[in-house]
Amino acid sequence: MARGTFITFEGGEGCGKSTQVRRLKEALEREGHEVVLTREPGGTWLAEEIRRLIKDQESDAPCDRSELLLFLAARAQLVKNVIRPALDAGKWVVSDRFSDSTLAYQGYGRGLPLGILKEMNAFACENLKPDLTILLDVSPETSQARLHAREAATHTVADRIEQAGDEFHARLRAGFAELAKAEPERIVTIDANGGPNEVWEDVWKSTRRFR
């Protein structure tokens, strides 16, 4: 059986990944594909527990290195128990974030060394790489506006990582752009400042070569 197709979505806060991930799953299923949807950190019991520790921990919040190791532990579990088996069964896997987030957030954002992060990423996911990564790029203004609107609508507050300052988010955006420049075949950058339908048209087009 042919291996399935692995697509990941990446980008900064409020870029609209989750919205587009859901649309992609529905559209692929309408075409008759079997699709497994997942997110990082998360997607298994253990990885969801780790997600809670990373995002919501208020006292004794993880330091940069333990944060990295927690993300990698969650990824190793997700790859072994969910992503690999689905790909081996010929399914599509669509993930809301994957290993590029580690390079962008822990590398460009927190300043941990990229070379080591790449090796640790490869170790955690046994060298698995996405076939296609869709990078949704938004300006800081769009990101802020969407997050504020969501907080107001859902009566929630920004989590520990979202609260990192403007400089962190600027490094993050520049980091994602560098990653895309280094791997233009795999990483497709989409201007995601427009409305959901506009962004969706570009997302759908970018998957054409795999369908």
- The residues binding ligand Z5A (CB under 6 A) are 11, 13-19, 40-41, 71, 97, 101-102, 105-106, 146, 150, 159, 161-162, 195-196, 199
- Closest CB to ligand Z5A belongs to which residue? 16
Nearer to ligand Z5A, 90 or 205 (CB): 205
Least Å from the CB of residue 209 to ligand Z5A: 23
As given in the structure block, the two tokens for residue 85 are 């088996």
Q: Torsion angle of alpha carbons 195, 91, 128, 61, nearest 10°?
A: 60
Q: Is there a contact between 29 and 91 (Cβ–Cβ < 8 Å)? A: no
Q: What is the DSSP letter of 12?
A: S
Nearer to ligand Z5A, 96 or 131 (CB): 96
Nearer to ligand Z5A, 32 or 166 (CB): 166
Least Å from the CB of residue 128 to ligand Z5A: 14
Least Å from the CB of residue 181 to ligand Z5A: 20
- Name the amino acid, one letter, at 158: A
Least Å from the CB of residue 90 to ligand Z5A: 25
Nearer to ligand Z5A, 13 or 131 (CB): 13
Nearer to ligand Z5A, 64 or 88 (CB): 64
Least Å from the CB of residue 31 to ligand Z5A: 22
CA distance 9 to 66: 24
Q: Is there a contact between 12 and 172 (Cβ–Cβ < 8 Å)? A: yes
Could you identify the residue written with the tokens 């527990």? 49
- DSSP notation for 112-141: --HHHHHHHHHHHTTT---SEEEEEE--HH
CA distance 108 to 176: 8
